[in-house]
Structure 1
Amino acid sequence: MSAIATVSCPGRGDADLLLARFARRAIASGLRVCGTVQVNTERARAHACDMDIQVLPDGPILQISQALGAGSRGCRLDPAALETAVRAVSDRLNEADLLIINKFGKMEAEGRGFRAVMAEAVALGIPVLTGINGLNEPAFVQFAQGYAQALLPEIDALSDWLDVSGAPLPH
């Protein structure tokens, strides 16, 4: 059993959809889930890098990307909005059976974002599930120090991992 599990999907947004679906299933089964899932909200003048996350289980949807202008090329992540989400998740962590973080991203790779919350969850014995991409995988491997397991991007694989993690889904 690994304290942390990762999922990676080849299609853009597929990991977001998988994690959101799994979170709904876990919540519906009675597990106390906290964390975030990415939801893509339709809006006028949406940009491909626009990001919204929902704080689990029933928290707000927060826009964590910022409008930088039509010619911008830099990272659109709004660090202040992300920290708002981090605080909301941190406040709920002690009551959780499972922590889901939509992505171990650039901020986590740099030692910020949800990184400390993930470490605290592991210290508390709370299983952690997160999305990962190849760009941030080396930083994640260093962070996880051998305590992580890559899962197949399938609901059953996530459920099987959770069953042996100490927070099984009721059948």
Structure 2
Amino acid sequence: MLGYVSVDGRGAADALLRQAADILRANGIPLAGAVQVNDDRDPSRKCHMDLHILSGTDVVRISQDLGALSQGCRLDPAGLESAVGLVAAALDTHPAILIVNKYGKQEIGGRGFRPIIAEALSRDIAVLVAVNPNNVPAFLDFAADLAAPVTPDLKAILDWSSQATDRQILRNVT
């Protein structure tokens, strides 16, 4: 089962996936993957981008500070690959769902989380991916007919998760 959410707005998909992951964990759903947290530190500088690894407590910085005037891509490929390695190892713990924070340029190029998505699907692990609207065509080229859109709201994601895991997900878990 491969679901994807596509939402406009800086950080909107990140916040949505983090909230869903928190609820799924509170319901005892074993997870693998990563959610992104942006650390806005100074209005004159770009934020730090960190991936929180869902199978443990690791946090991996995936951004580089290229300076306040930089216009280039700030992704740190080594940081991303470090996160990918942690997530790949977590597949051996038999998670119910793999959550991937982003299907982006690295994945379009065959790197990043793309091999992990394929591996999880081959192991019958449900996969939920956030995809920028501009990247949906490339994602669908990769996913073929396996991908199903999930409405980008918490209820729809939790309903998809219930279906993927055959478990009722309680929304008001404390």
TM-score where L is the length of structure 1 = 0.91
Q: 2:145 and 2:45 mapped to 1: Cα distance? A: 36
Q: 1:163 and 1:46 mapped to 2: Cα distance? A: 42
Q: 1:142 and 1:49 mapped to 2: Cα distance? A: 31
Which residue identity is paired with 2:4? Answer: T
Which residue identity is paired with 1:15? Answer: A
Q: CA deviation at 1:26?
A: 0.5
Q: Which moved more, 1:25-34 or 1:134-143?
A: 134-143
Q: Secondary structure at the match of 2:110?
A: coil
Counterpart of 1:32 (choices 30, 33, 40) is 30
1:154 aligns with 2:153: yes
Q: 1:154 and 1:88 mapped to 2: Cα distance? A: 27
Structure 2: gaps spanning 5 or more residues: none
Q: CA deviation at 1:14?
A: 1.0
Stretches of 4+ moved more than 4 A in 1?
none
Q: CA deviation at 1:15?
A: 0.8
User: After the TM superposition, which residues 1-171 of structure 1 pair with which residues of structure 2 at under 5 Å, given as runs?
Assistant: 3-44=1-42, 47-48=45-46, 50-95=48-93, 96-171=95-170
- Given that 1:55 and 1:88 are in contact with CA atoms closer than 8 Å, whether structure 2 keeps it comes out as yes
After superposition, give the CA deviation of every residue in 1:33-76 in whole Å (9 maximum; x if it has no partner). Answer: 01000112243477445311101133222210101123322111
Q: Secondary structure at the match of 1:24?
A: helix
User: CA-atom RMSD, angstroms?
Assistant: 1.7
Figure out how many residues of one structure are paired with residues of the other and give that number. Answer: 169
Structure 1: gaps spanning 5 or more residues: none
Q: 2:87 and 2:6 mapped to 1: Cα distance? A: 22
Q: 1:137 to 1:49 in 2, by over 3 A?
A: farther
Q: 2:92 and 2:5 mapped to 1: Cα distance? A: 24
Identity of aligned residues (%): 43
TM-score where L is the length of structure 2 = 0.90
